[in-house]
Amino acid sequence: MSLVQTEVGFLAKLSHPNIVKLLGCCQEEENRELLIVYEFMEKGSLNYHLFGKRSGQQLPWKTRLMIATEMAEALSYLHSMDRPIIFRDFKTSNILLDESYSPRLSDFGLAKWGPNDGTPCVTGNCMGTHGYVAPECKTGGKLYVKSDVYSFGVVLIELLTGLRSVDKKRPPKQQDLREWALPFLTDRKKLRQIMDPGLQGKYSSRQALKIAMLAVRCLYSHPMIRPSMKEVAETLEQLRLRS
């Protein structure tokens, strides 16, 4: 089955305000390629707004917190189905934004059904994007529902810092964002040093520290001690309500 067929199969089963709507699909006669039609997302991808030429200024703190919260809710929805769906490729380029910057999760080509027989994981080839893939996928070929939680933790750090998960243009010790940023994430003063300058200091330091510490938990090396996406979503929603 092709990635496009996999995506159509999953999207046809899903209904959530923060998952992109499948409007239809068609097949070109010449190359028999199946094309997917999404709803139009006016603001493009989160990847563009964080790392593109006009990055930073267009994403104020409250917008970043909204995006993080609603994406956590989307993943929690996938994980709480009768048979969980593991998204497997959570990253900024798969987060699309509408005219109000409300996010939609897109690109289900690598999604996979999670375990339904009481086992904690499914096995298979390591799939996903370098810099976001959980360690258990890379080293043991084991895929847990909480492998998505790890990827979400990486995106949280990107939202805080405005830096890509992997960037060969940065100094050698800073090229892997997770590895470099972890020592800064649990101390308010240290965290301030790596916050996105595009925010121009206009953010809640209390909220930023809470999110940074949540990211640390999401990035635990062992999947079973990471929080669930339900817990992550509830934590972020509480932060929004108190802002």
- What amino acid positions are annotated as catalytic residues? 89
SS3 of residue 127 by DSSP? coil
Residue where the block lists tokens 């990635």: 3
Gap between the Cα atoms of 54 and 60, Å rounded = 13
Buried/exposed code over 90-121 (b: 16+ C-beta within 10 A; e: otherwise):
bbbbbbbbeeebbbbbbbbbbbbebbeeeeeb
| Segment holding 3, helix H or strand E | helix 3-11
β-pairing, 112-113 vs 121-123, is unpaired
Residue where the block lists tokens 């989160």: 46
**Residue 138 dihedral angles phi and psi, to the nearest 5°:** -70, -40
